[in-house]
Structure 1
Amino acid sequence: MMYMEIEQMREVLFQSWSKETSSKWTLDNPAKGQCGVTALVVHDLFEGEIMKTKVSEGWHFYNFINGKRYDFTAPQFLEEIIYMDMSSNRKEAFADTNEMQYDALKQNVRIHIKE
């Protein structure tokens, strides 16, 4: 995969999320239901750690890279997230998604990185 800055991921992900990457996706809320799958794909690209925190709907996944929290799917929530920064892993994040959604997001991200 091409090298890119982590800050560029926000736009790439926004363009990459779809109904194929989360069944909860909507035009009004593209980040909805994308946390697990996004944390996995970001982990693939930048390594670091997968973290989790409790929100009203259950576990919310995000990334911790080079000592900084990156939560690209935070905009899906109306309420403010109180981060617990609990250590998680790929297996737990994968429980929030499935192979087809993961492959779709990975493919979409690849396409949008190259544009």
Structure 2
Amino acid sequence: MDNLTLKIEYLLKVLKKSWSLNSSSKWTMNNPAKGQCGVTALVVNDIYGGEIFKTPTPEGWHFYNRINNKYFDLTESQFTSKIIYLNMPSSREEAFLDTNGIQYNALKQIVYSYLTDDSLPCRPSPSVKKGNL
């Protein structure tokens, strides 16, 4: 397993601890990833860069990331059936339409509080706070 995949797996653990009603009004204890795709894609993009992609689902657009030419969908667990990924390029602006500033800032703040400097690549700079997972 490559270093990026290990970092993404660690980030997924952080996200699972971080998702809440504060980051999506669709969140439930039984399905914590529900409604978190746009806000999660934005925070992942803040941390690792890359691009944001989307694919249609019966519930609407679903957002995820491509980093170093590898696709990562950290909220796929919200779906009960397999997703057919069309890998359509999207943008931060479009993903933001799936969330709002309060939810985005809530998720970003708690995720950054969990991350340690050595778990990240060179970005996002020293604004990441030290924390424990």
Distance 1:70 1:111 in 2: 22
Number of equivalences: 112
* 1:32 paired residue number: 34
Q: TM-score, normalised by structure 1?
A: 0.95
**Correspondent of 2:59 among 34, 57, 60:** 57
Structure ranking higher on relative contact order (CA contacts 8 Å, 6+ apart): 1
Distance 2:73 2:7 in 1: 15
Q: Report 1:2-81 matches (<5 A).
A: 5-81=7-83
1:91 aligned counterpart, secondary structure: helix
* 1:100 paired residue number: 102
Q: Structure 1: where are the runs of 5+ without partners? A: none
Q: TM-score, normalised by structure 2?
A: 0.82
- Structure 1 runs of 4+ with >3 Å offset: none
1:60 aligned counterpart, secondary structure: strand
**CA-atom RMSD in angstroms:** 1.0
Distance 1:76 1:91 in 2: 22
Please give the per-residue CA displacement for 1:62-86, whole angstroms capped at 9, x wherever unaligned: 0000111100000000110000000
Q: Structure 2: where are the runs of 5+ without partners? A: 1-5, 116-130
Distance 1:7 1:77 in 2: 19
Distance 2:54 2:21 in 1: 23
Distance 1:25 1:6 in 2: 21
Please give the per-residue CA displacement for 1:78-102, whole angstroms capped at 9, x wherever unaligned: 1100000000000000000000000
1:41 aligned counterpart, secondary structure: helix
The alpha carbon displacement at 1:5 in A equals: 1.9
The alpha carbon displacement at 1:6 in A equals: 2.3
* 1:110 paired residue number: 112
Distance 1:39 1:53 in 2: 13
1:33 aligned counterpart, secondary structure: coil
